[in-house]
Structure 1
Amino acid sequence: MHNPRTPAQRTRTGRRVVTAIAAMGLIGALAGCGGNAGSSGKTEIRFAYAAGDETFNTVLKAVADAYNAQAKGSTVRLDPLAGGMDYATAVKTMDATGNWPAIIDMRETRTYIAAGKLAPIPDQVTSLLDDNVYGKAEDGNVYVVPAGPLNGEIGINIVYDKDYFAEHGLKVPATYDEFVKLLQAVKANGDTPLATAAGEIWPSDQLWKPLASPVFARWSDKGGFWNAVEEGKASIKDLREPLERLKYITDNFVLDGWQSTTDAQTSTLLVNHKAVMATSSAGTGRLNDIQKVDPKFNAGLFIIPDDQGNLDVLKNAINGETATGLSISAQARKNGAQYQAAVDFLTYFYSVEAANVMEKSGGIAPNIKRSAEITRNTSVPGAQDYFDLLKNPKLVWYDNDPRSTRFSAFATFFRQARIEMQDGQTTLDQAIAKTQAEFDKTVKQG
């Protein structure tokens, strides 16, 4: 990647990062190369990924084991790294040390595409997928394919206590106004309506994104909201209403202590009846985790609707804002055997056989063209709610793909600015002003 610092400065920084990673127990990410021929004569490749919720980890292990049992010329070795913000640091460290795995759970995709760190994924793989779940980069190549079924941000939703709803005659809201009335009704019962998290800053998106999505969706066919801000056609001031709604909900309906709550804790708070609802970005993975903690807990999920009742959901912006999924490294491409092994594994990953392994392991398979042949796992409470969301006539997919390769750094700043506004450190006007200034600075930097 482009780096304006001197070689000596980059070396010193690289050493500091490696030291930090080692301190966090991530030094395993630096062990071994992208893949090589093992004692069996097979080509062994690494698959590095962010260790997420327990269900995701279990599903990946089951698929890797199933692949290795049937593969003739290759094997895949899982390399789980830290999740959350630490994962991006681990990837940067692998890049700095020239130690890329063959397959990687990608973040900041546009940046790494521009730096030539990723290899094109062939039609052999993409032809297996639903055409709506992957996209091409500006050069016409596909560099990232989905690791799961969430189609972008359909996994950002509200998980709730269905038994509580039934006991108190409450219903899943059909409009934003009904969502507010739902929060008010739970509070009137003397209970806490919502648990959310900001102990790590990235979960703060879980409440923000559904509130902002109606604004983002209006710019979907005009190049996306963030590109419109860059062009001067829109501004951060256009987000005033969702920011006001965010502040109102936090001030009145969110469980105290959200600033220090981690994402994983919200499941515990829900199961222990500290709150009736909880924000989530884990989709069905959160439902699986809840079932493991308390098999009798009757969980459900819904997406916060907009004023008209639409469920505005960001598509999997393959090269932009969400930009997460599986990629093949350019380093693996230099070794023909590693590249072919990576392609072979992804071909298996999007097969009906692998999909059935995922479902049996408690996950939901990616959206493949042969999805009708998958034996779906509907045993987990709330899983049917997810399938119903995919069929909901009010579901509106939108695009919001920033061009800036530095957008992820801005997104981190924006998250922190929102948190400071929510807990009263800054005013709404101050948050808007400094966020606009940061965005302008980001654009100038290229």
Structure 2
Amino acid sequence: MLKARRGARLWAAALVGALSLSTLAACGDDGSDAKGAGDTLRLWHYEAPESAMGKAWNEAIAEFKKQHPGVKVEFEAKGFEQIQKTAPQVLNSDKAPDLLEYNKGNATTGQLSKQGLLTDMTEEVKKRGWDKAIPPSVAITSQYDQKGVMGSGAWYGVPNYAEYTMVYYNKDLFAEHGVQVPTTVAELEQALATFKSAGLTPFANGGAEYIAQQYVYQLALSQADRSWVDSFQMKGKTDFSDAAWTYAAQTFADWVAKGYIAKNSSGVKAEDAGVSFMQGKHPMFFSGSWWFGRFGTEIKKFDWDTFLWPESKLSLGSGGNLWVVPEGAENKELAYDFIDITMQKQIQNTLGNAGGVPVAADAASITDERAKKLIQQYDTLAGNDGLAFYPDWPANGFYDTLASEVQKLITQSAEPADVLKSLQDEYDENVLNE
């Protein structure tokens, strides 16, 4: 994902600038008898403070300080795109942090593990019991083989939440225009037409980053099955001229032509797409659960809810972004201690009640009704083997390729068949299966 990560997990440039140099120093005794006394934990993540993960990780930092009174914590907030593009260079230098949040998948964590830039945490994972606490459907993105392909091999990352995509919708606009929550594709397209005829652009979209490519992938998933996903994601084989990809590209292009997705959204960033939905400019927004907590906090002017993509057994989703420890980290033990804290019930419960999808929470402690529904929808998808990962994962550099090619569908500067041909060429050249 992306977040994406995945993915997500994205925030305004002003916030990044304001926080990127912030340092949260630990208080208390610096005596030599304190655990890790005199050491520093350098930590990077890209979750907004008001997001579910941001709230949980801030609480984890506070708890870490209590347990390590002699340790200084240097936290630097980074943007998702910033880490996505610079991680290989930073982790191969003396500027690498001790612990950072990183996007999961073959083209990201898999590629860095293959290059020897990440610590093999298998022994630590087993020693601390994380492998028992993390469900198999989430753990699949934690392990990578020698080729950098996920699903088996050593543990190079630890996810402590899960994520998936859904349609966020403005309940007030739905009621105002007499639109019911669609349960079929036909009903969805009727809703799109109704909103467009009322002068609204139905879907918020961001073509400059991950939003648009995830619309396309979801359309393909609605025509696909698990074997199709496994071939694309794990085996390095897909036919971009098949029925699923053709339907996806053609339908997306048609929706742009009909005005269901704005023709001028090709340069819009993910953050701006999410904000436009929060401002009530669009009835719907298809994106990930990483927005959920933030919407709950920031949307004040209208009521909102979510639904899964109609008539699709598959949706984008996986375990959350990973805590990874660079091979060159100076304080690996402190990094492991911090990860362990994020797996504690207290932190997991905070994550769940703030609108995240925890992996080790106490179910009885999740009291927020929206949060309960979010977790129930995830359980439904995961229980039916419906998590289909993200489209950029199988091939190195494929995120940028998808973004640029899908932009052509938005600007109508290329035919769907030509876009799919370009995707095929880039996928075949860069797929990570060898």
Of 153, 177, 198, 1:140 maps to: 153
Give 1:339's aligned amino acid.
K
Q: Distance in 2 between matches of 1:112 and 1:220?
A: 26
Q: Distance in 1 between matches of 2:41 and 2:189?
A: 50
Q: 1:161-310 to 2 correspondence within 5 Å?
A: 161-198=170-207, 200-215=208-223, 217-219=225-227, 223-226=230-233, 230-231=236-237, 234-238=238-242, 239-252=245-258, 253-281=260-288, 283=289, 285-305=290-310, 309-310=311-312
2:357–2:375 Cα contact (<8 Å) kept: no
Give 2:133's aligned amino acid.
L
Q: Does 1:70 align with 2:75?
A: no
Task: Work out the percentage of aligned pairs sharing the same amino acid.
Answer: 16
1:302–1:385 Cα contact (<8 Å) kept: no
Q: Distance in 2 between matches of 1:395 and 1:190?
A: 39
Q: 1:143-154 to 2 correspondence within 5 Å?
A: 143-150=156-163, 154=164
1:407–1:442 Cα contact (<8 Å) kept: yes
**Uncovered stretches (5+) of structure 1, i.e. residues with no partner:** 1-23, 32-36
Q: Which residue of 2 aligns with 1:377?
A: 368
2:160–2:359 Cα contact (<8 Å) kept: no
Instruction: Give 1:263 shift.
Output: 1.7
1:393-420: CA deviations, max 9, x gaps? 7974357689x99814123212211211
The change in CA–CA distance for 1:393 and 1:430 in structure 2 (over 3 A counts) is closer
Instruction: Give 1:294 shift.
Output: 3.7
Q: Distance in 1 between matches of 2:381 and 2:357?
A: 22
The change in CA–CA distance for 1:431 and 1:26 in structure 2 (over 3 A counts) is farther
2:366–2:372 Cα contact (<8 Å) kept: no
Q: Distance in 2 between matches of 1:190 and 1:141?
A: 53
Q: Does 1:438 align with 2:426?
A: yes
Q: Which residue of 2 aligns with 1:4?
A: none
Q: Distance in 2 between matches of 1:291 and 1:314?
A: 21
The change in CA–CA distance for 1:442 and 1:149 in structure 2 (over 3 A counts) is closer
2:168–2:305 Cα contact (<8 Å) kept: yes
Instruction: Give 1:312 shift.
Output: 0.7
1:161–1:277 Cα contact (<8 Å) kept: yes
Instruction: Give 1:269 shift.
Output: 2.4
Q: Distance in 2 between matches of 1:299 and 1:400?
A: 25
Q: 1:93-112 to 2 correspondence within 5 Å?
A: 93-107=89-103, 108-112=108-112
The change in CA–CA distance for 1:69 and 1:220 in structure 2 (over 3 A counts) is farther
Q: Distance in 2 between matches of 1:106 and 1:265?
A: 22
2:218–2:316 Cα contact (<8 Å) kept: no
Secondary structure of the structure 2 residue equivalent to 1:117: coil
The change in CA–CA distance for 1:376 and 1:276 in structure 2 (over 3 A counts) is same
The change in CA–CA distance for 1:388 and 1:372 in structure 2 (over 3 A counts) is closer
Q: Distance in 1 between matches of 2:378 and 2:102?
A: 24
Instruction: Give 1:73 shift.
Output: 6.7
**Uncovered stretches (5+) of structure 2, i.e. residues with no partner:** 1-15, 24-28, 146-151
Instruction: Give 1:226 shift.
Output: 4.7
Q: Which residue of 2 aligns with 1:348?
A: 341
1:237-264: CA deviations, max 9, x gaps? 1111111111122222123531232222
Give 1:353's aligned amino acid.
Q
The change in CA–CA distance for 1:164 and 1:395 in structure 2 (over 3 A counts) is farther
Give 1:340's aligned amino acid.
E
2:38–2:70 Cα contact (<8 Å) kept: yes
Instruction: Compute the RMSD of aligned alpha carbons.
Output: 3.5
Query: Which 10-residue stretch deviates more, 291-300 or 409-418?
Result: 291-300
The change in CA–CA distance for 1:126 and 1:74 in structure 2 (over 3 A counts) is farther
1:325-379: CA deviations, max 9, x gaps? 11222223xx5xx22222222121111111233346x3425211x532534434x
1:195–1:270 Cα contact (<8 Å) kept: yes
Give 1:97's aligned amino acid.
S
Q: Which residue of 2 aligns with 1:3?
A: none
Secondary structure of the structure 2 residue equivalent to 1:273: coil
2:157–2:323 Cα contact (<8 Å) kept: yes
Q: Distance in 2 between matches of 1:405 and 1:385?
A: 28
Q: Which residue of 2 aligns with 1:12?
A: none
Q: Distance in 1 between matches of 2:136 and 2:432?
A: 35
Q: Distance in 2 between matches of 1:26 and 1:88?
A: 20
Q: Does 1:117 align with 2:117?
A: yes
The change in CA–CA distance for 1:194 and 1:394 in structure 2 (over 3 A counts) is same
Secondary structure of the structure 2 residue equivalent to 1:312: coil
Q: Which residue of 1 aligns with 2:11?
A: none
Secondary structure of the structure 1 residue equivalent to 2:161: coil
2:158–2:324 Cα contact (<8 Å) kept: yes
Give 1:418's aligned amino acid.
V
Q: Distance in 2 between matches of 1:395 and 1:112?
A: 30
Q: Distance in 1 between matches of 2:84 and 2:298?
A: 29
1:126–1:145 Cα contact (<8 Å) kept: no
1:263–1:280 Cα contact (<8 Å) kept: no
Secondary structure of the structure 2 residue equivalent to 1:79: strand
Q: Which residue of 1 aligns with 2:414?
A: 426
Q: Distance in 2 between matches of 1:392 and 1:383?
A: 14
